[in-house]
A = this chain, B = another copy of it.
Amino acid sequence: MNEIKVFAPATVANVVCGFDIMGFALQEPCDVMTIKKIKEKGISIINADNYNLPTAPEKNVCGGALLAMLKEVEIDFGFEIISEKKIKPGSGIGSSAASAAAVVVGANELLGRPFSKMDLVRFATYGEEIASGARHADNIAPCIFGGVTIIRSNHPLDIIPITCPDMFVTIVHPQIEVKTADARAMLKKEVLLTDAVTQWGNVAGLVAGFLQKDYDLIGRSLCDVIIEPIRSVLIPSFAEIKSKSMQAGALGGGISGSGPSVFMLSKDKPTALRVEQSICEVYDKLDLEYNTYVTTISHEGVRIQP
Known: A189-B193, A207-B204. A221 touches B152 (CB 8 A): yes
> Could you say which residues of chain B place their CB within 8 Å of the CB of A196?
191, 196, 199-200, 226
Which residue of B is nearest A196, CB measured? B196
> Looking across the interface, which residue of chain B has its beta carbon closest to that of A194?
B189
Q: Is A281 an interface residue (CB 8 A)?
A: no
Are A204 and B205 in contact, with the CB atoms below 8 A? no
A206's nearest neighbour on chain B, judged by CB, is B204
Q: Which of A169-224 contact B (CB under 8 A)?
A: 187-194, 196-208, 211-212, 217, 220-221
B158–A208 touching, CB < 8 Å? no
Set of chain B residues within 8 Å of A217, measured between Cβ atoms: 152, 160
B21 touches A153 (CB 8 A): no
Contact yes or no, A201 B162, CB < 8 A? no
State the CA gap A204–B152 with chains docked (Å): 7
Cβ B20 vs Cβ A205 within 8 A? no
Of the candidates B192, B205, B207, the one whose C-beta lies within 8 Å of that of A208 is B207
| Minimal beta-carbon separation of A179 from chain B (angstroms) | 19
A17 to B188, CA, bound (A): 22
* Contact, CB under 8 Å: A204 / B21: yes
Distance in angstroms from A107 CB to nearest chain B CB is 29
Q: Which of B150, B198, B200, B211 contacts A18 (CB 8 A)?
A: B200
| A223 → B minimal CB distance (Å) | 9
A61 lies within 8 A of chain B by Cβ? no
- Name the residue of chain B whose CB is nearest to the CB of A199: B200
Closest chain-B Cβ to A152's Cβ sits at a distance in Å of 4
Whether a CB of chain B sits under 8 angstroms from the CB of A238 is no
Complex: A197 Cα to B203 Cα, angstroms: 11
Known A-B contacts A190-B191, A193-B189, A221-B152; the reply to A204 vs B22 at CB < 8 A is yes
Bound-complex Cα distance A97 to B160 (A): 34
CB pair B189 A191 closer than 8 Å: no
Q: Which of A20, A152, A153, A199 has the most CB of B within 10 A?
A: A152
Check A200–B21 contact: CB distance below 8 A.
Answer: yes
Judged by a CB distance under 8 angstroms, whether A151 is at the interface is yes
Per a CB cutoff under 8 Å, which of B19, B158, B191, B201 touches A21? B201
Find chain B residues with CB under 8 A from A17 CB: 200
**Given A158-B205, A189-B194, A190-B190, 8 more pairs with CB closer than 8 A:** A150-B201, A187-B193, A191-B191, A196-B196, A199-B200, A207-B211, A208-B211, A211-B212
